[in-house]
């Protein structure tokens, strides 16, 4: 074997090795690029940290579905742990959520520790989910009932509500606690349904901008009424709701009740907020309408304030 032949053989083999090495390096770079793309997508979809998303993708060989499921499971565990630790901390801030449906409406109160968290999109998403879950529960429970139906939910009955994804409300609250780091609680909810000839008015004060499907604020009211000028019931309902939020009536009263001054807590004999020359009853007579029921929520109010 000549020296030249041996040299050519070695050179050819080295060229093959280099070509394979370059191909492997190119493939590796493509894989790294794919990893980065998946990482950005996973982080955008879930909102979890860069480090946790990277850990999830590495754990499941870049399987997005498995990585996302694992991240949610870990966040749920962390949320429940954090929820248990924060359970005793006072949560008096938050938002009232109000949703108007077809001859039905719901109002919910969700509390947090600070106004800062109340402005967070994840917290507001929780308020929205509670409102929609309450409406679904109300409709399922009362679908065979006619007339006026009112449902009030508190405590365990609220926590057991099912959300769209099939999770319980208590699990969703724990998950949100894990993400936001504050104690949260779903305090109460009310849902009303009315027959075709009745109307529901609403008003939210201190509203959150950008929320259209579910209105949110610090104060809110629902009012059930009959009558009013055709086509003007929405405006009438809003005026009545504004009065209820502003004057905090506790009971309805009667159309012929005499007012007892500034301390009046019955709705109908109160001086009407929109026209101080009239009582609410007098205003309603002029509108050919009558109020049948109302509910007022103030975020963070105590049990004694509710009963005033």
Least reliable range by pLDDT among 60-69, 122-131, 277-286? 60-69
Rounded average pLDDT over 220-247: 96
Least reliable range by pLDDT among 51-55, 78-82, 164-168, 297-301? 78-82
Q: pLDDT at position 4, please?
A: 57
What are the pLDDT digits (tens) for 235-284?
999 999 999 999 999 999 999 999 888 889 999 999 999 999 999 999 99
Query: Mean pLDDT score of the chain, rounded to an integer?
Result: 83
Q: pLDDT at position 215, please?
A: 95
End-to-end CA distance of the chain: 109
Lay out the sheet containing 219-227: strands in order across.
198-205, 219-227, 289-298
CA 133 – CA 162 distance, rounded (Å): 7
Least reliable range by pLDDT among 76-80, 110-114, 128-132, 151-155? 76-80
Q: Using an 8 Å Cβ cutoff, are 266 and 249 in contact? A: yes
Q: Tally the C-alpha atoms within 13 A of residue 117's C-alpha that lie toward its C-beta.
A: 22
Q: What is the pTM of this model?
A: 0.75
In the 8-state DSSP scheme, what is residue 279? B
Q: Using an 8 Å Cβ cutoff, are 288 and 228 in contact? A: yes
Q: pLDDT at position 306, please?
A: 61
Does residue 296 surpass a pLDDT of 80? yes
CA 231 – CA 229 distance, rounded (Å): 6
CA 258 – CA 279 distance, rounded (Å): 9
Q: Which residues pair with 298 in a beta bridge?
A: 219
Least reliable range by pLDDT among 25-29, 39-43, 77-81? 25-29
How far is C-alpha 6 from the chain's CA centre?
Answer: 77
Q: Which is more confident, 156 or 192?
A: 192
CA 10 – CA 105 distance, rounded (Å): 83
Region of 104 (left: φ > 0; alpha: ψ -120 to 50; beta: rest) is beta
Q: Which is more confident, 230 or 84?
A: 230
Provide the token pair at 166: 């099939």
- Look up tokens 């609410």; give the residue: 280
Does residue 134 surpass a pLDDT of 90? yes
Backbone φ and ψ for 77, nearest 5 degrees, come out as: -60, -45
């Amino acid at each position: 074997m000549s020296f030249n032949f041996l040299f050519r053989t070695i050179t050819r083999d080295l060229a093959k090795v280099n070509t394979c090495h370059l191909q492997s390096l190119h493939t590796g770079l493509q894989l790294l690029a794919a990893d980065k793309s998946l990482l950005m997508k996973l982080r955008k979809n879930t909102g979890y940290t860069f480090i946790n998303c990277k850990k999830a993708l590495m754990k499941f060989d870049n399987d997005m579905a498995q990585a996302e499921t694992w991240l949610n499971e870990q966040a749920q565990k962390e949320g429940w742990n954090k929820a248990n630790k924060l359970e005793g901390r006072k949560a008096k801030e938050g938002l009232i959520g109000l949703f108007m449906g077809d001859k039905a409406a719901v109002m919910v109160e969700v509390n947090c520790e600070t106004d800062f968290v109340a402005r967070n999109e994840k917290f507001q998403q929780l308020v929205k989910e509670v409102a929609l879950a309450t409406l679904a529960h109300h409709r399922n429970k009362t679908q065979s009932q006619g007339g006026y139906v009112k449902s009030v939910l508190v405590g365990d009955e609220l926590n057991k509500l099912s959300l769209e994804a099939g999770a319980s409300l208590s699990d969703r609250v724990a998950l949100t606690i894990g993400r936001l780091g504050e104690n949260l609680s779903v305090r109460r909810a009310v849902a009303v349904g009315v027959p075709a000839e009745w109307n529901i008015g609403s008003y939210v004060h201190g509203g959150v901008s950008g929320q259209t499907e579910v209105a949110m604020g610090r104060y809110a009211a629902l009012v059930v009424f009959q009558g009013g000028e055709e086509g003007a019931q929405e405006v009438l309902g809003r005026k009545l709701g504004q009065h209820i939020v502003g004057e905090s009536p506790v009971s309805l009263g009667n159309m012929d009740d005499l007012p007892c001054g500034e301390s009046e807590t019955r709705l109908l004999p109160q001086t009407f907020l929109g026209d101080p020359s009239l009582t609410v009853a007098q205003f309603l007579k002029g509108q050919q309408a009558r109020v049948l029921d109302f509910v007022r929520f103030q975020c963070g109010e105590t049990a004694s304030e509710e009963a005033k």
